[in-house]
Amino acid sequence: MKNEMRALVKSKPEVGLWMERVPVPEIGPNDVLIKVKKSAICGTDVHIWNWDEWSQKVVPVPLVTGHEFVGEIAELGSAVENLNLGQRVSGEGHITCGHCRNCRAGKGHLCRNTLGVGVQRAGSFAEYLSLPQQNVVPIPDDIPDDIAAIFDPMGNAVHTALSFDLVGEDVLVTGAGPIGIMGALVAQKVGARKVAITDINPVRLKLAQDMGVEYVVNAQEKTLRELMEDMGMKEGFDVGLEMSGSPHAMRDMIDVMNNGGKLALLGIAPVKFEIDWNKVIFKMLHIKGIYGREIFETWYKMIALVQSGLDVSGLITHRMRIDDFEAGFAAMREGSAGKVVMDWD
């Protein structure tokens, strides 16, 4: 095992990431060292690249970034069980404490002491990544590397979409980024009656259409009331999946929810904003905030969804060598990409 590796590092408190040589992570008895094969770029990574207000508050400098990946096990800690050298794996990017009330109750996704891979601790934009063994997720042979590399964001979509019973329900997704599109496809796959997705970015809207989302709407050209007429709906949407972080989209969604409707919120707004809480109260809406994945139920469900025919490969619009990472980030920052997957080999 070599002592140094290449990695994308947030080495200065300013815009950008830099390819540097850093030490290969050391592993403890309960850790696994993973040789990364492919890395994907997340919206979080774009925030870190841009060095926005959120990043400045939470990201220590210097830090190896990234958390969407697939690789193979290169080294096992002395106490690790049920994993093998050379095994294909991805990993849960939220490192939980194991001793808080939620962790001890089997609800690790609610851990108040969570650390993010590539956000607060060394990440996967590197040749090697160290993870606790309980965060390592084996990848079945019938799941391609490219798909495994985007399981982290797909898990966000699956967690959000499966928060409520969708069978026979009318579902509205606001925000046609990759996670929004995956959420809409999951809803269609598991038996929603009608599924609509909205956005204002023409590239994303075309991608949603190409991926087979049933109703794709440019919110600048058609109101949600007009959409409901097109869909033959009279009362309102049963389930809303808010994936955009847009205050306007959130307010519009609340307006067209049916009484007793359910909202799952994943999109992160750039600023605080107001909604009409009287509508929430008098419509008796259920609102659930979503962060990350349920550990590890979401992983089992999304692997099963892909194995049973859910095809999200069309969301990968850019494939490139890791040395071309600047082009990948440029595509993400200008909104012309779905998912960008970068190859370390």
For the stretch 247-295, pLDDT in tens is 999 999 999 999 999 999 999 887 889 999 999 999 999 999 999 999 9
pLDDT tens per residue across span 97-148: 999 999 999 999 999 999 999 999 999 999 999 999 999 999 999 999 999 9
Instruction: Calculate mean pLDDT across residues 14-20.
Output: 97
**Quick one: pLDDT at residue 256?**
98
Q: What angle do CA 36, 39, 40 make, to 5 degrees?
A: 160
Closest C-alpha to 235, from 277, 193, 189, 289: 193
**Quick one: pLDDT at residue 345?**
87
Distance CA 229, CA 216 (A): 14
Distance CA 271, CA 245 (A): 9
On the question of pLDDT at 2 being above 80, the answer is no
Percent of the chain with pLDDT over 90: 96
Stated pTM of the model: 0.94
Cβ count near 94 (within 10 Å): 20
pLDDT tens per residue across span 151-188: 999 999 999 999 999 999 999 999 999 999 999 999 99
pLDDT tens per residue across span 202-233: 999 999 999 999 999 999 999 999 999 999 99
**Quick one: pLDDT at residue 269?**
86
Q: Which of 47, 67, 159, 318 is catalytic?
A: 47
Closest C-alpha to 7, from 98, 121, 119, 125: 125
Paired tokens of 182: 């995956």
Half-sphere exposure of 31 (CA within 13 A, CB side): 11
Distance CA 219, CA 237 (A): 16
Distance CA 339, CA 19 (A): 21
Range 19-26 contact pairs with CB under 8 angstroms and sequence separation of 24 or more: 19/323, 19/325, 22/64, 22/126, 24/127, 24/128, 25/122, 25/128, 25/129, 25/130, 26/130
On the question of pLDDT at 1 being above 70, the answer is no
**Could you confirm whether 47 is annotated as catalytic?**
yes
CA distances from 95 to 40, 129, 149, 183, 301 (A): 19, 13, 18, 24, 20
Instruction: Calculate mean pLDDT across residues 290-303.
Output: 95
pLDDT, averaged across the chain:
96
Q: Which of 44, 65, 96, 114 is catalytic?
A: 44
* 72 CB-near residues (< 8 Å, 6+ apart): 34, 35, 37, 86, 87, 88, 89
pLDDT tens per residue across span 30-64: 999 999 999 999 989 999 999 998 899 999 999 99
Closest C-alpha to 235, from 220, 216, 255: 255
